[in-house]
């Protein structure tokens, strides 16, 4: 046994050495394997982090694209609101919003510089963005200079461009590119995560054999899992940010759609405004020339009538008929000028309640006994600053329309009230204090289709021969020219209420301008013998007619075809008692000429003659002098000249100093 044991010892030693060597080899192999696994895990983690970083980069690019799209939508919505509401402050906000969008494009360019395809798209985006900005900047520039109609036209023209479609196409392509890239990167990241999990599991098994390896592997695994959790948390955060940005973009898109609808409505209003403006300009120009022709006709008829013997016979009747036709044509011309807002208004401070009550007798005679008129007044009614004659005509016109709507039987209510309105409450009226004059009837009312066209010139629902269609158009022009607003409320079968909103007059603006027209026809004329009158008129026919009429009245007449000629005549020292001047003339208006004459010749009386004063800013340009509307009768001219010559010297001096 001893021999056998002895003999077996070397074998056991060899086995032990081999085992030790095998153990060392196994341990070394395990260690190398652990080291290799640790290295592979580290490399896998690095690759995974890189993939996650690229994921974040893709999310950042998509968020930047959506942010730019939302910012541009917000800027376009801002300029749309600015043009619709005519607010310059909102237009300045548009510049800031648009510059902010440009800064976002610079950021997007920096994010996509690693992708040639995205870089090219960003370059295209910048080009279209600059073109779009130039188109919208024109609308903002017009708005800053108060050219609201041009601003709306420019905004409409910008809407017809294909910039928005091109920008959206670029955004869609960029997002699609990033989504494709993100899908590839997400798959790569998922593969790396799965690989890291497999290596971690292998290292965990080997860790059971090698304590230190297991500890190291455990630490690496814990670290890897922590990184994965952090990466998942970051991914969830990015997903939340994308979701929030998407919600914001959806809200911006809804706002953009709303703004698009408002813009479409504004474009429709713009087309209507342009149509009405063109008709108004055409009407004012025609009425201007027509007034000059009527002035010649009326003056000629008046002079011809004075040349006839006392019993004119058939010729006198013909002249009377011609004069009646001329007067009716003059009334129609005044309606046309009222619609075109080119009537020479002569406003004065007045109490609307007193004016309405003073018209009660006229209402009764005009409307008939079957129309019951009720007047409801506001205690301590505010003052207004309007042309009395035009306001009376407007109220009477509304009353006649109400009578026709009630088929000559019903209740007509006229009420005055003091009201304070805010911005956008009533049409285009500015916020402030107004006097509202309501004219209500119990007639058949109007349909929605009729209400849309009720202010159009020559539109009427009355039978042929019973209406010109200029009544409400004239009232619309008069109220707007007076700084007010008009509103109509009507329900079919329940009647109609027309409301005139006229601005409150608190303090005296200046000397009231009283018309020297037909209302003065009954004034006591002055002796004209020896009086020297200077007639200034650019229309030679009107000049000849006016000069003939003044000569017929007994004045010594000088004529001038332009303000410069009148100034030259005065510079010669010629004595002039009265200057009768047109208002609107080429080069220099009548008020401008009088302003130059007044300081050196305060003793000269002034009489303005006008049929179209659209180019004179307001009645204060007349500086308190008498005004005679074309066409005029010889009696009206005589009364107006008498009123001008009878003005106290102090009034003339005040007018000259004004």
Report the Cα 59 to chain-centroid distance in Å. 41
What CA–CA distance (Å, rounded) separates 658 from 655? 5
* b/e code 489-513 from CB counts within 10 Å (16+ = b): ebeeeebbbbbbbbbbbeeeeebeb
- Structure confidence at residue 534 (pLDDT): 94
Closest CA to 496 of 427, 426, 425, 444: 444
Closest CA to 346 of 535, 517, 602, 585: 517
- Structure confidence at residue 520 (pLDDT): 41
- Greatest mean pLDDT among 63-67, 480-484, 558-562, 648-652 lies in 558-562
Residue 403: is its pLDDT beyond 90?
no
- Structure confidence at residue 313 (pLDDT): 62
Q: Please state the rounded mean pLDDT for residues 408-424.
A: 89
Burial class (CB in 10 A: 0-12, 13-18, 19+), 649: exposed
Residue 650: is its pLDDT beyond 50?
no
DSSP one-letter string for 485-526? EEEEEEETTTEEEEEEEEEB--S--SS---B-SGGGTTSPPP
- Structure confidence at residue 558 (pLDDT): 93
At 503-555, the pLDDT tens digits run 998 854 444 434 433 444 444 454 566 789 999 998 888 898 899 888 888 89
| 259 within 8 A of 77, measured Cβ to Cβ | yes
| 294 within 8 A of 334, measured Cβ to Cβ | no
Residue 607: is its pLDDT beyond 60?
yes
Give the tokens for residue 255: 């706002």
Give the tokens for residue 524: 């006591």
Angle, helices 634-645 vs 540-552, to 10°: value is 70
Contacts of 144 (CB under 8 A, 6+ apart): 88, 91, 92
427 band by pLDDT with thresholds 50, 70 and 90 = confident
Burial class (CB in 10 A: 0-12, 13-18, 19+), 236: exposed
Provide, rounded to the nearest whole percent, the portion of the chain with pLDDT above 70.
71
Q: Is 439 helix (H, G, I), strand (E, B) or coil?
A: strand
Phi, psi of 486 (to 5 degrees): -125, 140
| 429 within 8 A of 476, measured Cβ to Cβ | no
37 or 138: which leads in pLDDT: 138
Give the tokens for residue 265: 């409505």
DSSP one-letter string for 552-591? HTT-EEEEESSHHHHHHHHHTT---SEEEEESS-SSS-HH
Residue 467: is its pLDDT beyond 60?
no
Q: Is 617 helix (H, G, I), strand (E, B) or coil?
A: coil
Give the tokens for residue 60: 């950042």
Map out the domains of the chain with their CATH numbers.
2-275 (no CATH), 350-503 (3.30.565.10), 518-657 (3.40.50.2300)
Residue 285: is its pLDDT beyond 70?
no
Phi, psi of 321 (to 5 degrees): -65, -40
Instruction: Please list the residues that pair with 628 across neighbouring strands.
Output: 609
For tokens 């019993």, name the residue.
311
φ/ψ bin of 524: left (φ > 0), alpha (ψ from -120 to 50), beta (otherwise): beta
- Structure confidence at residue 617 (pLDDT): 46
In degrees, rounded to 5, the angle at the alpha carbon of residue 46 between the alpha carbons of residues 45 and 52 is 85
| 487 within 8 A of 427, measured Cβ to Cβ | yes
What CA–CA distance (Å, rounded) separates 151 from 537? 38
What CA–CA distance (Å, rounded) separates 62 from 243? 11
Radius of gyration of the chain (CA): 45
Across the chain, mean pLDDT equals 77
* b/e code 312-339 from CB counts within 10 Å (16+ = b): eeeeeeebeebbeebbebbeebbbbbbb
Q: Is 421 helix (H, G, I), strand (E, B) or coil?
A: strand
| 70 within 8 A of 249, measured Cβ to Cβ | yes
In degrees, rounded to 5, the angle at the alpha carbon of residue 90 between the alpha carbons of residues 88 and 93 is 115
Q: Please state the rounded mean pLDDT for residues 85-89.
A: 80
| 377 within 8 A of 354, measured Cβ to Cβ | no
Integer CA distances (angstroms), 57 to 112, 116, 120, 188, 299, in order: 9, 15, 18, 15, 87
What CA–CA distance (Å, rounded) separates 265 from 269? 6
At 98-147, the pLDDT tens digits run 888 889 889 988 888 888 988 998 888 889 888 888 888 888 888 888 88
| 174 within 8 A of 123, measured Cβ to Cβ | no
Q: Please state the rounded mean pLDDT for residues 380-407.
A: 86
Beta strands 384-386; 410-421: pairing state: unpaired
286 band by pLDDT with thresholds 50, 70 and 90 = low
């Amino acid at each position: 046994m001893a021999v056998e044991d002895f003999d077996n010892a070397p074998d056991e030693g060899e086995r032990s050495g081999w085992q030790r060597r095998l153990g060392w080899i196994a341990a070394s192999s395990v260690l190398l394997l652990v080291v290799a696994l640790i290295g592979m895990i580290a490399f896998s983690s690095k690759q995974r982090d890189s993939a996650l970083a690229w994921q974040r980069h893709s999310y950042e690019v998509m968020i930047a694209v959506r942010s730019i799209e939302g910012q541009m939508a917000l800027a376009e919505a801002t300029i749309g609101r600015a043009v619709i509401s005519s607010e310059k402050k909102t237009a300045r906000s548009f510049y800031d919003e648009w510059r902010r969008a440009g800064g976002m494009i610079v950021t997007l360019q920096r994010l996509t510089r690693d992708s040639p395809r995205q870089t090219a798209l960003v370059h295209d985006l910048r080009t279209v963005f600059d073109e779009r900005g130039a188109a919208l900047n024109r609308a903002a520039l017009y708005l800053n200079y108060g050219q609201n109609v041009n601003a709306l036209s420019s905004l409409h023209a910008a809407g017809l461009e294909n910039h928005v479609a091109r920008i959206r196409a670029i955004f869609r392509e960029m997002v699609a590119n990033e989504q494709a890239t993100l899908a590839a990167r997400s798959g790569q990241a998922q593969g790396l995560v799965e690989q890291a999990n497999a290596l971690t599991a292998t290292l965990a098994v080997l860790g059971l054999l090698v304590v230190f390896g297991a500890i190291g592997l455990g630490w690496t695994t814990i670290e890897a899992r922590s990184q994965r959790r952090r990466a998942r948390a970051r991914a969830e955060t990015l997903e939340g940010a994308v979701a929030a940005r998407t919600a914001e973009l959806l809200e911006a898109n809804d706002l953009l759609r709303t703004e698009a609808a408002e813009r479409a409505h504004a474009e429709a209003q713009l087309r209507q405004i342009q149509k009405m403006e063109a008709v108004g300009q055409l009407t004012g120009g025609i009425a201007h020339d027509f007034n000059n022709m009527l002035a010649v006709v009326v003056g000629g008829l008046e002079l011809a009538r004075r040349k006839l013997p006392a019993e004119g016979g058939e010729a006198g009747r013909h002249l009377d008929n011609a004069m009646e036709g001329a007067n009716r044509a003059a009334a129609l011309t005044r309606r046309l000028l009222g619609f075109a807002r080119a009537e020479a208004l002569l406003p004065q401070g007045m109490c609307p309640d007193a004016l309405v009550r003073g018209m009660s007798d006229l209402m009764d005679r005009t409307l008939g006994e079957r129309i019951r008129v009720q007047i409801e007044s506001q205690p301590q009614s505010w003052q207004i600053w309007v042309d009395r004659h035009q306001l009376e005509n407007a109220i009477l016109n509304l009353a006649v329309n109400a009578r026709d709507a009630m088929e000559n039987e019903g209740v007509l209510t006229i009420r005055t009230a003091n009201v304070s309105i805010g911005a956008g409450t009533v049409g285009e009226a500015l916020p402030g204090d107004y006097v509202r004059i309501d004219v209500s009837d119990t007639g058949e009312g109007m349909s929605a289709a009729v209400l849309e066209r009720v202010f159009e010139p020559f539109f009427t629902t009355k039978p042929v021969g019973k209406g010109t269609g200029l009544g409400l158009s004239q009232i619309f022009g008069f109220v707007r020219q007076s700084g007010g607003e008009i509103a109509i409320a009507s329900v079919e079968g329940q009647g109609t209420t027309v409301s005139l909103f006229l601005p409150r007059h608190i303090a005296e603006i200046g000397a009231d301008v009283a018309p020297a027209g037909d209302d003065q026809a009954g004034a006591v004329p002055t002796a004209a013998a020896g009086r020297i009158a200077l007639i200034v008129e650019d229309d030679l026919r009107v000049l000849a007619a006016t000069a003939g009429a003044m000569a017929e009245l007994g004045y010594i007449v000088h004529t001038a075809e332009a303000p410069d000629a009148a100034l030259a005549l005065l510079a010669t020292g010629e004595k002039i008692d009265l200057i009768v001047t047109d208002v609107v003339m080429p080069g220099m208006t009548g008020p401008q000429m009088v302003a130059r004459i007044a300081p050196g010749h305060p003793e000269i009386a002034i009489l303005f003659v006008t049929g179209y004063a659209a180019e004179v800013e307001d009645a204060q340009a007349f500086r308190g002098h008498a005004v005679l509307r074309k066409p005029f009768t010889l009696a009206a001219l005589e009364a107006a000249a008498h009123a001008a010559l009878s003005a106290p010297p102090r009034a003339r001096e005040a007018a000259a100093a004004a």
